């Protein structure tokens, strides 16, 4: 039997938070603005993933199934942008 997905999500949340911490530390260690921006941007992206993990655990996130995506695609196909 497979592992409990909530346990895995919690483990990944911990890993991601650690990575965010290191990225923010490293952004302060370099003087080059592009490197700082890279580290900060990566930290922000991972913060979004942590939020998605938390929503998953709280059952707040709405995840689309393949069937839902097909239905959404059918509604948006041919619609002007």
Asked, for residue 70, whether it belongs to a domain, the answer is yes
Number of domains in the chain: 1
CA pair distance 43, 48, nearest whole angstrom: 9
Range of the domain at 14: 5-76
Q: Is 1 buried (19+), middle (13-18) or exposed (0-12) by CB count in 10 A? A: exposed
Phi-psi sector, 59: left (phi>0), alpha (psi -120 to 50), beta: left
Asked, for residue 17, whether it belongs to a domain, the answer is yes
Helix axes 5-29, 33-58, angle to 10 degrees: 160
Asked, for residue 63, whether it belongs to a domain, the answer is yes
Kindly report the pTM of this predicted structure.
0.71
**pLDDT cut 90: percent of the chain above it:** 59
Asked, for residue 81, whether it belongs to a domain, the answer is no
Asked, for residue 71, whether it belongs to a domain, the answer is yes
Asked, for residue 37, whether it belongs to a domain, the answer is yes
Asked, for residue 19, whether it belongs to a domain, the answer is yes
- pLDDT, tens digit (0-9, with 9 covering 90-100), for 43-81: 999 999 999 999 998 887 566 666 655 655 554 555 554
pLDDT attached to residue 16: 98
pLDDT attached to residue 45: 98
- Closest by CA position to 24, among listed 37, 15, 13, 11: 37
Asked, for residue 12, whether it belongs to a domain, the answer is yes
CA pair distance 73, 30, nearest whole angstrom: 44
């Amino acid at each position: 039997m497979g592992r409990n997905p909530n346990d895995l999500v919690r483990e990944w949340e911990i890993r991601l938070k650690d990575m965010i911490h290191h990225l923010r530390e490293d952004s302060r260690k370099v003087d080059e603005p592009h490197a700082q921006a890279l580290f900060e941007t990566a930290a922000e992206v991972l913060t979004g993933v942590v939020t998605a993990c938390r929503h998953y655990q709280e059952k707040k996130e709405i995840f689309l199934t393949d069937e839902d995506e097909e239905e959404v695609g059918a509604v948006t196909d041919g619609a002007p942008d």
